[in-house]
Every structure is written in structure tokens, then in C-alpha cells.
Chain A
Amino acid sequence: MFNNIFKSKKNYPEFFRTYLDSFKKSKNLPLSETRFIVFDTETTGFDKNEDRILSIGAVSVVNNMINVVDNFELYIHQEIFKSESVKIHGLLKKGNIEKVTEAEAIELFIEFIKNDVLVGHHVGFDINMVDQMLLRNNLGKLKNECLDTGLLFKQSKHIVYQQNLKNYTLDDLCEELKIEKVDRHTATGDALITAIAFQKIVARLDKKNNLKLKDLL
């Protein structure tokens, strides 16, 4: 535990130093040039200390366009395994999907997300899980800006319904925004669904065509 406190930045590996440095210059891009990373994780459960990430799926949205080639899909080998979560995500402990270690996953993920804006549905949970993974591997927490499609969706609702404090699940969003549910409960499938939801919500919020990134944050 003291490890983290006394560890100086210099001991971070190269990729993580580059990552941290990239936040030094502010970039202030217009919305149309901002790269959004929409991501989702599948985990063994909901306890941030006990549970582990089994897979991460992410897609990028730039100028309202999802570029399939710029996508991220990874399965992580974990010692912790809970059979009860298998029925949700369908990932077996010894499945035949190619898996990587946590350390490898972190490096690939950090290189993919760069200093861009992270978007997720109830993103707080996913960020938390990733942060825990980073700390376990003696690295610092994520520094990216984050957007939660759950909150954005509420903002996009008509004023009449805004006091309604309902917590919208991803399934609710699909229902209301009329998004096809394909590959639900796989990290990449949920990331894609969330990305489409994100595009639709931004379009709703951007009726006047002058939405800025800071309006979303």
C-alpha cells in the first residue's frame, strides 16, 4: 500500500508517462473533431475490490461517425472467477478466446484511449474497475474526461420529464431511442449500443447546431 505513495512518477513505464504527459497541453477541439471513446467492461461482479475485469470493448466516435477499424476488444485472463456471472456475459474461465494478462491489457487500453474523452453507460463503475486494475499494477488512475450516457440522456429529455429521477438502464435507452439490441452483455456489443445511443443523444441535444464539449461535461 505504501508502495503507491512513495512511488515516484519516474518509475512509471514509458507508455504511462506518455499518457500522463499528454494531458499537459489542453487541446480545446471543436465537438466535431473530438475523439470520444465509448467503452464497456464485463466483470466478475460489482465489488471494486474483489471483482475483476474479464473483457473490455470500445469504439471511437469522431464527428458523429463510428469507425469500425478504430475499435478495441480484449479478453483478460483472471485468477478470480465467479460462475454466477457467466450467465450474464458468457465468458468461461477456460474459453477458447485469446486472452491477455492485466498488464498487457492496460498498456493496450491506455494506448487506445490516449487523452480522449471516455463515454460509457453509468461510466463511473467502469472507470472505477479500470482504476483498480491500474492501481493493482502500480500505476495511477485514469485522467480522461468522462461522459455518462445515463446522465446525458436525462438532460436530453423534455423539461416536463426531467424531474423524473428514474435511473435509466442501457435496456431502457435501447427501448426509448429505438436501438436494436445486438450482442447485449458482451463488452463490444454494449460499447456499440452505447455509442449509437451517444450519437442519438448528442443529436437531440444539438438541435441548434452549436453544442460545445463543455456543454456535455
Chain B
Amino acid sequence: MKNSIAERVFDFIKVFPPFSLLSNEKLKIISEEVKIIYLEKGKTVFKENDMFHDCFYIVRNGAVGLFRTKQNQKEMIDICDGGDIFGLRALLAQENYTLEASANEEAIIYGIPIDVFQSASENSKKINKYLITTFASNAFAPYTREQSDEIFDDYIPKDNYDIENLQAAKYTKKTISCSPETSVKNAAIKMSKHGIGCIVIVNKENFPIGIITNSDLKNNIATGKFSIDIPVKEIMSSPVKSCKKNITVTEAQLQFIKFNIEHLCVTKDGTNHSPLIGILTHHDIVLSIGNNPSVLLKEIKRAKRTKSLRSVRGKAHKLLQSYLDQNIPLRHIVKIISEINDAITYRVIENAIIKMHTAPPVGFAYMALGSQGRKEQLLYSDQDSALIFEDVPENLSEETKAYFLKLSGHITKALHKIGYEYCPAEMMASNPEWCLSRSEWKEQFRSWILHPDEKAILLSSIFFDFTRIYGDQSMIDDLSNSIFESLDQSSMLLSLLAKDILLSPPPLGFFKQLVLEKNGEYEDFFNVKRRALMPLIDAARLLILTHNVKEINNTALRFEKLSELEPENKELYDSCSYAFKALLKFKTKQGLINNDSGKFINLETLSKDEKLKLKRCFKPIREIQELLKFRFKVIS
């Protein structure tokens, strides 16, 4: 019987080792026995110490992470992308899994039954050799590794900076060089063409003899000291400092400090009398030490591929952890991490536009909503976004919208790959409902404000916190203005919102105990987002809207602004701002411990002191709700 599915499986696996080493007939036999498994993000394939399964796996779409638990901390060892194999070693060794495998993003994997594979690959020397070398080199995903060296390293968490500094420094291999007789002008043209800050001068045997950097050009040429037509040898710094290719990060740093230089020439034997093979800059070293925000931001600006952005976001995550450990004020942490999140989104959009091949037909702006819009997004959370584009004549509206929907599709897909989950409620620019023209958006908000219904209340908590990430700010200002105009006409939505906030369940029960979730996966956990953070976030938004204040989205800052506007309530607003920051920190810490969004807190893991601290944050919630009740005349 014809089996089209097996044929498709065959087409996919045949290009990846070890399958690529098998004959087509044998591959067909294997393809017919494959199991196709769909994994949601976070879904586990196997855990550490689980009994080995009867099949091993190859990733078809998406990505699967491999983890190891070390001192109760889950460490990511590697990420398997399309074509990578995992879960094979345990099967061959007939022992329990030593790693955990779970979906790092939504994924489809193929399960290959080991008995079928073994009988098909029996007596294949090539396969045996492949398997032995794979495991001997300790590489779990050799295919990805061959493709791009850097991914693997990025994903090994480094606790110990000393070890890192003893690693070989990564240097630039494609060195741009010129002969000593080249004119300064031509050398400068070459530098600007390649977008580099220095050029190495080599002799006929390709030995490095000198170097010219941007500052040489500034000091000698721009000042008029020399003409730009003189040969480079007149102004180059010479001799150069050279090193071997396996120089460690620490050694390189020492060289830079000792000679007060910023560049090292990498040569074949490490001396100036052998051919140039690369250049190591101070920048390369800073990058490899790398967890500081300005380096991360630079890295983001240069990233051409989504994978590199994913690795930067991973680094930011570690940065966040160390900030919390050092007890840096949350205000600063939030600022830095938001900056990084926004920069990543910005870069993703730039890359997406390149992918579209044609420039956007009209002006547009990409807005972040929800927590990113409020600049409160510390951990990975859902994507909430919207897109606004300039009005176009009716006959062009369909194709214009189609363009922006496609663009948004690229954007949300890339963000998902980086780690921001799709919004389950599809509040994303890629949804036709939230990718609208300027006048459509105005009309949308108008109808929410003037004819509020259940949907409007539900959505306004997300949509009223919009911030521009990319594109035309004036369009967004215009939208804000139109919102306040509508709000002047009717305050119905605001009073409904107030009522809705007061309906939200209180964090404390009758006996001042914390109210826990009653069912579902998180039964007996405390939902800190819904019961504590949301009431504060919603109250701040509502109050700030009544004051016609725009451009302040952050909840803590909104409360600070409120205490400025209503000095009589200063004390309450200040305590709300404080409580909000404390709660957000709570959630973030929990999220880092449990590797999730931190929404749910297991009370058993809290110390008595922490529980008290948590409870103290609830007093302002109660008080702000009283204020709302009074101000919006809500009868309960």
C-alpha cells in the first residue's frame, strides 16, 4: 500500500546524519515505523533518571532543550533544532536518561524505534563510527554544531567566570589587509566599505607589518598633518603585536593592558614573521566576557539571525538573575531589561522588513501592549502587540493590510523563536483584528469607550498600555489624543473598569490567610499576578486615564505621577508604588526559581518572613480599592 506520510518522513530524515549514511531502502523501512509527536512549549519528552524509551528522537520543527539538574538548579546543556537527534545515548547504553528533554518552543518531533533503526543499520561501519565519534566528542547535536560554532557555547550557562576567561578567545578570521604602498585614501575606503575600525598592513608574504586604526586616521589625516594620498606605511603603527590563535581571554586582556593597545594580530606561529590568520580586538574580548547591558545591546544591533537574538535574550536572563542576587533596585533592573526587550523587538522588526524584500508601502508603528507596553516585562512572557499603519485610499487598503499582516507574521514568529510565547488570546499584530489603519484604530478605541461591553473591558486592560517599539511616534501620539477626546465624551468605560477592578478576588480571606487557587494545575498555589499585581496595575491605569496623562505606562511610575497630582493621597500612592515593585520582584524571583512566568507561588517554599512581607503588600491594595469605590461611586 502506498504510504505518503512515510515518504514525507523519508524526505526529511534522509539529509541528516546518521540517516544520511543509510541506503534508501533501509531508510524507507525506518520511515514507515516513525511516530510523529507534537510538543507544546515546556512539554517534557523524558526526565532525568527516566527509564529509556523504545525510540530516540529527531526534531522536525521547533526546538527541544536538553537539561541537567545540578544542585537543584536546572541547567540547559543544549538546544536541538530541526534535524538534530537526541535521546539516543541512553538507548544504546541501555541505561536511564541522564538529561531531561523538553520543548523549548512548540515542536514536532519524530520518534524512531531503536529496534527498527538497529536492524536497518546493522553491520554498517559508517553508522557505528558516526555514533562512536558523536558520543566520544560529547556533542549532543553535532549537526547544529557543524553549522554554526557559536550556538552551543552560548547555551552552556557559565557559573564560573574564571573558567570562561581561560577559554580561547574568539577572533575575527576574515581580516581585511592591504599592502604598505596603498594610499591612505584607498585604505580608508576599504575600511568604510567593510565597516571596520582598523586595517592590517601586510608584506608580500602576508606577514603583518603595521596597522592603521580609526584614531590614526583622525589624528594624522583629519587634522591635516598628512595628505590622504601618502602611502599607508607613512602613518601606520609598527611593529604590531602578534599572538597565537589559541590565546586565552585572560592572556589577551593582559596584552591589551600591558601595551595599551586595542588590537592583536593573530598569526600562524604567533610571531610577526609568519602569515596573518586573523585579528583579535578589544571588542571581541569584551563580547566574550559579555554579560553587561551595553555589550548585549550592541550585540542585538548587529544580530542578523533570530538565533543570535535568542542567545542574547538568554544572556539577559542570566543578567537579571545576577541583578536580583545583588539586590540592585528593581527600578533599575526593570529599566535595563525593558531596554533589552525593546531592542530585541526592534531588531526583529528590522530583520523582518529585510525579509519582506519590499519597503513598507506607508508609514507604520509597531506597538507593544500589556507588560512590555508598561515596561514591566522582566521574564519571558507572552507577546502582546499591535500594528498601526497610515490610512490609504480604499483601493489600496487590502494589499496594504496584507503587507503588514505578513510582516507581523515574520515578527511574531521570530519573537516566538527567541522565547516570547504567542499570546493565547492572539492579541498580536499578526491577527487581522489588531493590525489596523490609523482611522480604524481610532474608531476601535472610540467604540470601546463610547459603547463599552464585556469585550471592551477585557481588552482595555491590555490595549490601553501601548508603547511604540518601532516606527512613527506621531501616529501613536495622534491615537492617544483621540482616546482622550473620546474619554472626555463619556466616562462610562472608566466606571465599568472601576467596577471590574473591585470584582477581582481579594488576596486575603476572612481569617487573613492567603487565598489559594482551588483547581487546575496550580491548585493550592497563590496566584500573585491575578490577586495582587493586576489590581494595582488596573487601578494605576484607570486613575491615570482620569487625569488625562499619557506616555506614562509603567505602573510604579504611574503611582508616582499620581502622588504628584493628588498630594492629599500621596501616602497611599507611594505605598502602592512600593508594593507593586516588591510584588513584581517576588514574582520575578519565583519565576527564576521555577523557570516559568512566576505567576504562581508555592507558599511552602516561602519563609515566614517572606510570607509576612507578601501580606504587607496587600494593605495598599485594599486601600486603593476603597478609593476607587468612593471615586467611581461603585455600589457593591
Residues of A within 8 A of B (CB): 57, 59, 64-69, 71, 73-75, 97-98, 157-161, 178, 180, 182-183, 186, 188-189, 192, 195-196, 199-200, 203-204, 207-210
Contact = CB atoms under 8 A, between A and B. Distances in A.
Contact of A73 (B4, B8, B426): B4
Give the residue among A65, A160, A204 with the most B Cβ atoms within 10 A. Answer: A160
Nearest to A62: B35
Nearest to A195: B36
Interface stretch (B26-34, B131-139, B346-354): B26-34
A159 B457 CA distance: 13
A65 B111 contact: yes
Contact of A208 (B6, B111, B455, B521): B521
B458 interface: yes
15 contacts: A65-B36, A65-B111, A66-B36, A69-B33, A71-B6, A157-B426, A159-B458, A160-B425, A161-B426, A161-B433, A178-B413, A182-B8, A183-B8, A199-B38, A203-B40
B35 A65 contact: yes
Given A66-B37, A68-B3, A159-B458, 8 more contacts: A65-B35, A158-B424, A161-B426, A183-B8, A188-B5, A208-B519, A209-B521, A210-B520
Contacts of B108: 196
B61 A186 contact: no
B1 interface: yes
A192 B520 contact: no
B497 interface: no
B276 to A, nearest CB: 46
Contacts of A74: 1
A208 B2 CA distance: 39
Contacts of B36: 65-68, 195-196
Give the residue among B4, B40, B433, B455 with the most A Cβ atoms within 10 A. Answer: B4
A133 to B, nearest CB: 19
B433 to A, nearest CB: 8
B405 to A, nearest CB: 10
A65 B35 CA distance: 6
Contact of B31 (A67, A68, A186, A210): A68
B5 A59 contact: yes
B408 to A, nearest CB: 13
A2 B528 CA distance: 68
Nearest to B433: A161
Contact of B5 (A68, A98, A203, A210): A68
A60 B61 CA distance: 20
B111 A158 contact: no
A200 B455 CA distance: 26
A75 B4 CA distance: 12
A68 B31 CA distance: 8
Chain B interface size, under 10 / 10 to 19 / 20 to 34 / 35 or more: 20 to 34
Give the residue among A59, A69, A75 with the most B Cβ atoms within 10 A. Answer: A69
A159 B425 CA distance: 8
B9 interface: yes
B166 interface: no
A66 B35 contact: yes
B402 interface: no
A180 B32 contact: no
A73 B111 contact: no
Interface in B403-432: 413, 424-426
A98 B37 contact: no
B178 to A, nearest CB: 48
B459 interface: yes
Top 3 closest A-B pairs, CB basis?
A66-B36, A199-B38, A158-B425
A143 B79 CA distance: 46
A74 B2 CA distance: 8
Given A65-B111, A68-B9, A69-B32, A160 B61 contact: no
B41 to A, nearest CB: 10
Given A65-B36, A203-B38, A160 B455 contact: yes
A67 B35 contact: yes
A75 B424 CA distance: 40
B520 A208 contact: yes
Nearest to B11: A182
A192 B35 contact: no
A108 B368 CA distance: 54
A71 to B, nearest CB: 6
Contacts of A159: 458
Contact of A200 (B4, B38, B424): B38
A192 B426 contact: no
Contacts of A199: 38
A160 to B, nearest CB: 6
B114 to A, nearest CB: 15
A71 B3 contact: yes
A71 B2 CA distance: 10
A137 B419 CA distance: 55
A208 B600 CA distance: 14
A68 B32 contact: yes
Interface string B103-115: 0001010010000
A108 to B, nearest CB: 9
Nearest to A198: B38
Contact of B4 (A186, A196, A207): A186
Contact of A68 (B33, B424, B433): B33
Interface string B543-573: 0000000000000000000000000000000
Contact of A57 (B4, B8, B33, B521): B4
Contacts of B520: 208, 210
A192 B5 contact: yes
Interface in B81-112: 106, 108, 111
B537 to A, nearest CB: 19
A98 B6 CA distance: 17
Give the residue among B2, B6, B9, B413 with the most A Cβ atoms within 10 A. Answer: B2
